[in-house]
Amino acid sequence: MSAVVTGRAIAVAAVRAASPGGLRFTERQLYYETCRVLSPGSALLRRLPGTPAPVLRLRAFTRALDARGRETVPGLLPPPAAPSARPLAGAGEPSEPDLYDYGLPRLLLCQDRAVAGMLLANHVHLEAACPVLAVTDALPLDPRLLGALERAGGAVVHVLHDASPAGVALPAAVRAALGPVPGVRVVSLGLVPRHAAALRLPTGRGPEPGPAGLAGRPAALRPREADWLASGRFAEVAAVPPARLVRTVLRLTRGPRPPRDTLWNGLRGLRGTGFMTWPAA
């Protein structure tokens, strides 16, 4: 595929990734959106379950993006910064000393630091009243944050992860890292292989994980899904279209609640256009 064609596809993909409402998106999300632009008949096939291979190699996309210039792509986020060292206990206290005195009903942990940054850039933490953190940055959880979850009573730690051996095992790993905290549940938001198939997400293939690599898989995983993972297949959260990802995360983290007037009502309505939730099968 020529660099000219790829460059034009990137331009179209950037517009799609930012819609509706000028969403911010990561380079990986732009890559997958470019694959969708270049996939012939993808609109006709999207209702048929499946996990197609990407039509564009990541290296070819990166070369085309380098040639175009990342700064010329509206909405493209910079790569996430490396995690900073945690301050010692008592150092770097928040400007509001009673910040941790309140109950915290929900927390979102993301396997992918770039996805966490994308959700923050699109104000998901404000709309859902839910802190958004990368797992690698959050664990072990700050004792004050853990205490805020416990004080809320019935708090939920949501885990957003890839459909991969490491991803599907992540909720159990988070649960083990938190320890026995009364009233705090750990819930997976996905992805799992059946989500990837229903959404027709582009997938990759890596080394087969072997029995040890699948030891932490959830019991609810279907046999076909376990076989899919055992073959080395994986699908990334970044492959979900940005608007769909934002809307789904908002719906699943907020849960059902009565409508009320807030500063973000207009933004929520704008992002709800053409949006779907995770498929059930």
pLDDT of residue 269: 41
CATH 3.30.70 fits 99-271, yes or no: no
Beta pairing partners, 157: 107, 186
Q: Sketch the domain layout of the chain as residue ranges.
A: 3-72, 99-271
Whole-angstrom distance, CA of residue 257 vs CA of residue 280: 21
* pLDDT attached to residue 109: 98
pLDDT of residue 48: 54
Check residue 95 and give its pLDDT.
Answer: 47
- pTM listed for this prediction: 0.83
Q: Strand, helix or coil at 253?
A: helix
Tell me what pLDDT residue 92 has: 43
Q: In the prediction, which pLDDT does 68 show?
A: 93
pLDDT on residue 81 = 82
pLDDT of 221 reads 87
Q: If DSSP codes are grouped into helix, strand and coil, which group holds residue 23?
A: coil
Q: Residue ranges of the chain with pLDDT lower than 70? A: 1, 40-50, 84-100, 255-281
Work out the burial of residue 242: count CB atoms within 10 Å of its CB; fewer than 13 is exposed, 13-18 middle, 19 or more buried.
buried
- Count of residues making up the chain: 281
